[in-house]
């Protein structure tokens, strides 16, 4: 059985990491599944616990930039500028690594690795006390919605990992932006809360057109190749609020139960008797990004719900990250009038 630890038990969590065990940890984005990044045996247990494909590389979590410099080649001074501007925070940097610095189980066999310094005091202390960087993919069953609470972690991984360090709900809710700094110009491989617009305050040019890879390619970052974020029910994206009336008329004609995942404004306009399973995304794309994974997981509690109508947002700023996750959850399935 997995132990739930509190912020007063970080030393115990660090001891488990040192012993080669798996410990889920909180970040500002989602909960990560932690193991000693320098211990290939422990790292391989992460893949086993999650049921994760072995060519899907892991993000290495650090508590300071010196840990990165010990493992990676820093190709340009702008890397340090990005660290200064956005760390700790939801930005992951892909960098070329030094020879034999990390095992292939961490990198997916690539000569690059992904690094991030999470903005969570408990986890930064955990990494410091463990004395090693931690791999930290989302602490869930591979392909399912990412966990934003310790309860989500336990739902998927109870009995499969040693412990979860519980620091309450995460603050951002969608995973970090992944920026490939091993190429020129840099490329966003996964959108997140650090938007392209924010990156352009540091970098002269940033590309944002490489969020997927082909089936025969090894992805440089998580979320580029395999099915992600999917609940048990089918997800259909309603492109914008104006389309919801037509979508709901369609839903009421279906022979199966339909759930609504939408903002307060949309939900307030609907008959709760007809749509008894609803989940509020709040009132903006910010709250929607924070609540998206929680909402997708909510409907798994109600197996009678076979279809989820999910509200889309304009894909700009944080909406780019929200729509990236929602499209993966739905298989890019949009409602058509």
Q: Binding residue per annotation — 61? A: yes
Q: Binding residue per annotation — 116? A: yes
Phi-psi region of 249 (alpha: psi -120 to 50; beta: other; left: phi over 0): alpha
Q: Binding residue per annotation — 280? A: no
Question: What is the sign of the dihedral through the CA atoms of 167, 171, 175 and 178?
Answer: negative
Look-up of token digits 């493992």: 71
Alpha-carbon distance values, 95 to 74, 75, 76 (Å): 7, 8, 10
Q: Binding residue per annotation — 105? A: no
Q: Binding residue per annotation — 119? A: no
Tallying the residues shown for the chain, one arrives at: 337
Burial of 238 (0-12, 13-18, 19+ CB in 10 A): buried
Q: Binding residue per annotation — 52? A: yes
Phi-psi region of 174 (alpha: psi -120 to 50; beta: other; left: phi over 0): beta
Q: Which residues contact 179 (CB under 8 A, 6 or more apart)?
A: 82, 91, 92, 93, 94, 186, 187, 188, 189, 194, 199, 206
Q: Binding residue per annotation — 216? A: no
Tokens (6 digits) for 50: 């999650």
d(CA 177, CA 271): 38
Cβ atoms of 81 and 179 closer than 8 Å: no
Q: Binding residue per annotation — 325? A: no
Q: Binding residue per annotation — 112? A: yes
d(CA 10, CA 143): 29
- As annotated, the binding site for ATP includes 52, 56, 112, 138, 146, 190, 229
- As annotated, the binding site for L-threonine includes 29, 61, 116, 176
- As annotated, the binding site includes 29, 52, 56, 61, 112, 116, 138, 146, 176, 190, 229
């Amino acid at each position: 059985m997995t132990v739930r630890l509190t912020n007063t038990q970080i030393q115990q969590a660090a001891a488990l990491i040192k012993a080669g065990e798996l410990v889920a940890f909180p970040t500002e984005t989602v909960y990560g599944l932690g193991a000693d990044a320098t211990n290939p045996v422990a790292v391989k247990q992460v893949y086993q616990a999650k049921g994760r494909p072995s060519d899907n590389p892991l993000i290495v979590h650090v508590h300071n930039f010196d840990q990165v410099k010990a493992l990676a080649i820093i190709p340009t001074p702008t890397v340090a500028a990005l660290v200064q501007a956005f760390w700790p925070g939801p930005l992951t940097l892909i960098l070329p690594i030094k020879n034999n610095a990390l095992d292939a189980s961490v990198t997916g066999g690539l000569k690059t690795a992904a690094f991030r310094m999470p903005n969570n005091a408990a986890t930064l202390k955990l990494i410091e006390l463990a004395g090693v960087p931690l791999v930290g993919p989302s602490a869930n069953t591979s392909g399912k919605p990412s966990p934003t609470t310790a309860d989500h972690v336990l739902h998927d991984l109870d009995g499969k990992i040693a412990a979860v360090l519980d620091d309450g709900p995460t603050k951002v809710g969608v995973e970090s932006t992944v920026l490939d700094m091993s190429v020129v110009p840099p490329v966003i491989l996964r959108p997140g809360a650090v938007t392209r617009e924010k990156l352009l305050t540091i970098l002269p040019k940033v590309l944002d057109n490489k969020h997927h890879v082909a089936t025969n390619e090894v992805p440089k970052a998580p979320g580029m190749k395999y099915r992600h974020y999917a609940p048990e029910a089918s997800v259909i994206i309603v492109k914008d609020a104006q389309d919801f009336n037509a979508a709901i008329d369609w839903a009421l004609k279906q022979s199966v139960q339909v759930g609504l995942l939408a903002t307060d404004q949309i939900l307030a306009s609907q008959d709760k008797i007809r749509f008894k399973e609803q989940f509020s995304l709040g009132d903006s794309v910010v709250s929607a990004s924070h609540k998206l994974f929680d909402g997708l997981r909510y409907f798994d509690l109600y197996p009678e719900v076979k279809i989820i109508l999910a509200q889309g947002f304009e894909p700009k700023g944080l909406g780019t990250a929200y729509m990236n996750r929602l499209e993966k959850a739905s298989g890019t399935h949009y409602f058509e009038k």
